[in-house]
């Protein structure tokens, strides 16, 4: 089974800091580390992330990429890999599915900590109270607020499921 090194380290031997450095610089450091360690799965994953960031920068005509945009890129890449994983499993291609899982683990290291189910429920209950939502008819209002407030902390599918559960 192909599994990337579980923790990518920077050149000084420490885990990358996400708050001081931009994601691009952190990824570049992690690429160097993966090259030194000859970790092909991590290297492929990190190069894909770097490619997406450069693509976004090009589209923005050289403007700085915001932290929210960086998180959105990472979440989109993880979602793509989850979808690929599910397709490979359905087609009984476990060799390819393992690669997708390993790449997801590498990319997930650069996302902020995700909320647990209990924390997500508490946050959404607070948002429901703030918006004054009472029924499933208010789903759009709650989802708009929740998606903005919980961006990067939870994926949209989890947010949507929890909002529907709480409003039912």
At residue 21, the pLDDT reads: 66
Q: Which of 157, 24, 48, 25 is nearest to 106 (CA)?
A: 48
pLDDT digits (tens, 9 = 90+) for 64-84: 878 888 888 998 999 999 999
Say how far apart CA 23 and CA 16 lie, in whole Å: 9
Say how far apart CA 68 and CA 53 lie, in whole Å: 12
CATH class of 23-108: mainly alpha
At residue 85, the pLDDT reads: 96
Low-confidence ranges of the chain (pLDDT < 50): 1-20
H-helix segments, the chain = 23-37, 40-59, 67-90, 94-108, 117-131, 139-149, 156-167
Domains 23-108 and 117-167 agree in fold? no
At residue 150, the pLDDT reads: 84
At residue 98, the pLDDT reads: 95
- What is the domain partition of the chain in residue ranges? 23-108, 117-167
Report the CATH number of the 117-167 domain.
1.10.10.410
């Amino acid at each position: 089974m192909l599994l990337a090194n579980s923790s990518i380290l920077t050149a000084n031997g420490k885990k990358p800091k996400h708050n001081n450095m931009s994601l691009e610089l952190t990824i570049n450091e992690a690429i160097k580390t993966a090259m030194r360690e000859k970790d092909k799965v991590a290297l492929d994953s990190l190069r894909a992330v770097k490619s997406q960031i450069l693509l976004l920068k090009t589209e923005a005509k050289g403007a700085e990429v915001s932290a929210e945009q960086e998180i959105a890129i990472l979440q989109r890449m993880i979602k793509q890999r989850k979808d690929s994983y599910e397709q490979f499993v359905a087609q009984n291609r476990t060799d390819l599915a393992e690669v997708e899982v390993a790449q997801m683990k590498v990319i997930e290291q650069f996302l902020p900590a995700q909320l647990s189910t209990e924390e997500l429920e508490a946050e959404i209950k607070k948002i429901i109270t703030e918006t004054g939502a009472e029924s499933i008819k208010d789903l759009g209002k709650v989802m708009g607020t929740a998606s903005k407030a919980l961006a990067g902390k939870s994926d949209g599918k989890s947010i949507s499921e929890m909002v529907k559960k709480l409003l039912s």
